Amino acid sequence: MANKIVRIILIIVVFIIFFEVGLISSYTIVTAEAPNIPGLIDMQVDKISSIFNPENVNEVLVKDPTPLKISNKKDVALQLESLSKVDGVNIDSMNITTYDDTDNENLTVNIEALGYASPNSTSGQIIISQDPSYKLIATGSATYKGTGLMVDTNTIVITSVLKLY
């Protein structure tokens, strides 16, 4: 019985070593650089430990985000415009949602909006299009103030800027 357990543990150890050698060699081939072995191992440990982290249980449960109405849409649009380096943000298309409990005073909000690029000139003609060029996705924090729910523009962070075709 003990012999079988030792064999199983030995097979698992050999598999892990084989996996790590493959990971390091593929990293070297893809990046053409020497691998940062402690960094690769730390990344793997972080990913595995995040799976078993009890704080992430709520993220695993699928729930719909709560749509919110904010009172400073223009300020948020201007901040999105300056952070993402687009030429304009459509306020009407702005979608603000949260997964937090709306009874809390501070909320983490997800912001989605459509952005526009400057008009293109092709062979001397200026072509103005009303079709959006980008989809902006950002996060920030919001608090309830006297005029309603307001997003703090200093906390807005652009998560991604997607080019629309």
Judge if 116 and 70 occupy the same domain: yes
Work out how many domains the chain is built from and give that number. Answer: 2
Structure tokens given for 44 = 């793997």
Reply yes or no on whether the pLDDT at 101 is more than 70.
yes
Query: d(Cα 147, Cα 13) in Å, to the nearest integer?
Result: 61
What is the domain extent for residue 80?
66-163
* pLDDT surpassing 60 at residue 125: no
87 vs 68, 78, 82, CA distance in Å?
25, 10, 8
Mean per-residue pLDDT over the chain, rounded: 81
Q: Is the model more confident about 98 or about 121?
A: 98
What's the whole-model pTM score?
0.57
- Considering the domain architecture, whether residues 127 and 86 belong to the same structural domain is answered as yes
Q: Shortest CA distance to 160 belongs to which of 131, 135, 133?
A: 135
pLDDT at 6: 93
pLDDT of 70 = 87
Answer yes or no: is pLDDT of 106 > 80: yes
Which segment of 6-10, 76-80, 115-119 scores lowest on mean pLDDT? 115-119
Q: Which of 138, 139, 137, 129 is closest to 165 using CA atoms?
A: 129
Question: Which domain-ending residue is among 23, 38, 60?
Answer: 60
Same domain, 79 and 151: yes
Contact 134, 162 (CB under 8 A): yes
Residue 121 scores a pLDDT above 50: no
